[in-house]
Amino acid sequence: MLNLTQSRRDFLRRSLCGFGSLALLALLHEEQARAQAHDPLAPRPPHLPNAKAKSVIFLFMAGGPSHLETFDPKPLLNRLHGERRPTEFGEARYQQITGDARLLGSARRFARHGQSGTEVSDLFPHMATCVDDIAVLRSCHGDMVVHSAAQYELFGGRTVPGFPSMGSWVVYCLGSESRALPAYVVLPDPQGALEAGQPMYMHGFLPAVYQPTMLRSGPQPVRNLDLPPGVTLSQRRETIRLIEDLNAASLPPGDEELSARIRSYELAFRMQAEAPRLFDLSGETRPTLDMYGVGAESTDDYGRRCLLARRLVENGVRFITVVSGGGPANMQWDAHHDIEENHVRMAAKVDRPIAALLRDLKQRGLLESTLVVWGGEFGRSPEAQAGRGRDHHNLGFSMWLAGGGVKGGQTIGATDAIGLHAVEERIHFRDLHTTILHQLGLDQDRLNYLHLGRQERLTLVHGRVIPGIA
């Protein structure tokens, strides 16, 4: 706590040297302690001791990547290719395909990698080199088999929109480590939006301060950070000084809310001054850029965004979602028509950048404090759709976790022999949420907010920490 106050005072002094006024200084001195309580983004300690993770990077594979082509080899499925699903595997409800569908074997080759011998398909040759840092979860399942509702459940724990997403919850509880950057950032795929739309990333009923910042592609990723045309920085500095002087002059003593508003202008100015530098990748070395695949056609976009994610984490951003896939189904991992065509193409965009991100975080000593989550809103059906495609499938699929105190080099859970149902160590989205919170030192029960007469949580139904994950 002492440290916190100290650094806060430093920060105030530093920012005041830039453009503050004396009236403010006196005010801030007096108000400092109370202001802390009035600052919704002040860093707060986690609930649990010894939490490892401070930040989360969610590599969201939108549309639902196939477990059968990536992390969950099913030799029996290949043997049963073209046949009907044997009844002993039970029932499944798909969005599109109906009862007479035939099983579809996988064309991918799997091999064991690393010291752990984790099985990864040849879609991900780069990721395969990182398996000793990765815990593959083969038994994930959710409740919905359609995109929008499944995406809401993955992000917010409910199959309906209107509830805060993981990122908002985490910032609500832990505050922000960064004063120059937004605490919760989404890097959407510039190719297009997703079915669940913006509400999936949103803060729901939490105060607007916990909303995500949606980064745009291009030179000015954050809205309103750039000055309007025709306005110079020195001019704007004068304007802000005027605003501060007028607001400070009419500030009644002891007014916490208005003091907070005055401080928000300092933060805004700081963000404006410092954030653009963080978004500028030109300071990165060539080897780093190459490692992420920046400059190579298929990996340039996702590589840039993964690299940006690392820079954001380095600067204390709490929660970052990097979306792969956007726009029409086949521009996502939503391979209804041809699993091979879709997944080869999609994997080629993300494989190298993701491996680079893990390696880069590790060599900078950031992987221990950064939980990396990989996965989509569901997996894909063992049965074929339209001959070579796979339908949505929510009953058993793979995700993975790395860093943030997670024990790498392991594979947790299992689906049945054709990848239809998760059968061992079943992991529901709520268990994933509970685990993410736990790695951040948060207790799902203490992370709540009174809304419409209920203490709402991220996990509506209690989740459990995935056994053996740490």
> Of 239, 277, 341, 467, which lies in the binding site for other proteins, with binding defined by CB under 8 A?
239
> CB neighbours (10 Å) of residue 261?
12
Q: Which residues of 453-466 are buried (b: 16+ CB within 10 A; e: fewer)?
A: eeebbbbbeebeeb
For the CB of residue 461, give the shortest distance to other proteins in the complex, in Å: 5
**Shortest distance (Å) from residue 179 CB to other proteins:** 9
Hey, what are 27's tokens?
A: 């005010």
Question: Could you say whether residue 236 binds other proteins (CB under 8 A)?
Answer: yes
In angstroms, the CA 151 to CA 147 distance is 6
Q: How many CB atoms lie within 10 A of CB 385?
A: 23
Q: Smallest distance, Å, CB 56 to other proteins?
A: 21
CB of 150 to other proteins, least distance (A): 11
**Binding segment (CB under 8 A) for other proteins, from list 70-78, 128-136, 185-193, 338-346:** 185-193
Question: How many other C-beta atoms can be found within 10 angstroms of the C-beta atom of residue 236?
Answer: 15
Contact call for residue 98 and other proteins (CB under 8 A): yes
- What are the beta bridge partners of residue 375? 60
Q: Which is nearer to other proteins, 5 or 96 (CB)?
A: 96
Q: Is 341 in the site for other proteins (CB under 8 A)?
A: no
Q: Residue ranges of the alpha helices (H) in 175-285?
A: 233-249, 256-279
How near is the Cβ of 195 to other proteins at its closest, in Å? Answer: 4
The amino acid sitting at 232 is: T
Q: Is 219 in the site for other proteins (CB under 8 A)?
A: no
Q: Does 18 bind other proteins (CB under 8 A)?
A: no
* CB nearer other proteins, residue 2 or residue 249: 249
- One of 15, 118, 121, 213 touching other proteins (CB under 8 A): 213
Q: Considering the rule CB under 8 A, would residue 231 count as an interface residue with other proteins? A: yes
Q: Give, as ranges, the residues between 437 and 456 that touch other proteins (CB under 8 A).
A: 445, 450, 452-455
Q: Of the candidates 204, 382, 405, 408, which one interacts with other proteins according to CB under 8 A?
A: 204
CB 409, CB 133: distance < 8 Å: yes
d(CA 87, CA 72): 21
Q: How many CB atoms lie within 10 A of CB 275?
A: 20
Burial of 296: CB neighbours in 10 Å, binned 0-12, 13-18, 19+: middle
Pick the closer one to other proteins by CB: 12 or 406: 12
Instruction: Give the torsion sign (CA, 30, 9, 173, 274).
Output: positive
Residue 399 forms beta bridges with which residues? 137
Which listed residue (249, 285, 286, 365) binds other proteins by CB under 8 A? 249
Site string for other proteins, 266-305 (x = CB under 8 A): -xx--xx---------------------------------
In this structure, what is the dihedral angle of CA atoms 291, 294, 297, 302, given to the nearest 10 degrees?
A: 90
Nearer to other proteins, 258 or 470 (CB): 258
The residue within the footprint of other proteins, chosen from 16, 42, 76, 214 (CB under 8 A), is 214
The nearest distance, CB 208 to other proteins, in angstroms, is 5
Among 8, 147, 352, 380, binds other proteins (CB under 8 A): 147
Does residue 14 bind other proteins (CB under 8 A)?
Answer: no
User: Residue 286 CB, nearest distance to other proteins (Å)?
Assistant: 29
User: CA-to-CA distance for 186 and 344, rounded, in angstroms?
Assistant: 25
Q: Does 224 bind other proteins (CB under 8 A)?
A: yes
Q: Is 33 in the site for other proteins (CB under 8 A)?
A: no
Spatial contact of 396 and 139, defined as CB atoms under 8 Å apart? yes
- Closer to other proteins by CB, 17 or 249: give it: 249
How many chain residues interact with other proteins (CB under 8 A)?
85
Mention every residue, 6+ apart, whose C-beta is less than 8 A from residue 97.
381, 383, 384, 385, 391
Instruction: Give min distance, CB of 241 to other proteins, in A.
Output: 9
Nearer to other proteins, 2 or 257 (CB): 257
Retrieve residue 274's tokens: 């410092």
Backbone angles phi, psi at 323, to 5 degrees: -90, 135
Amino acid at 417: A
Interface residue with other proteins among 205, 300, 388, 464 (CB under 8 A) is: 205
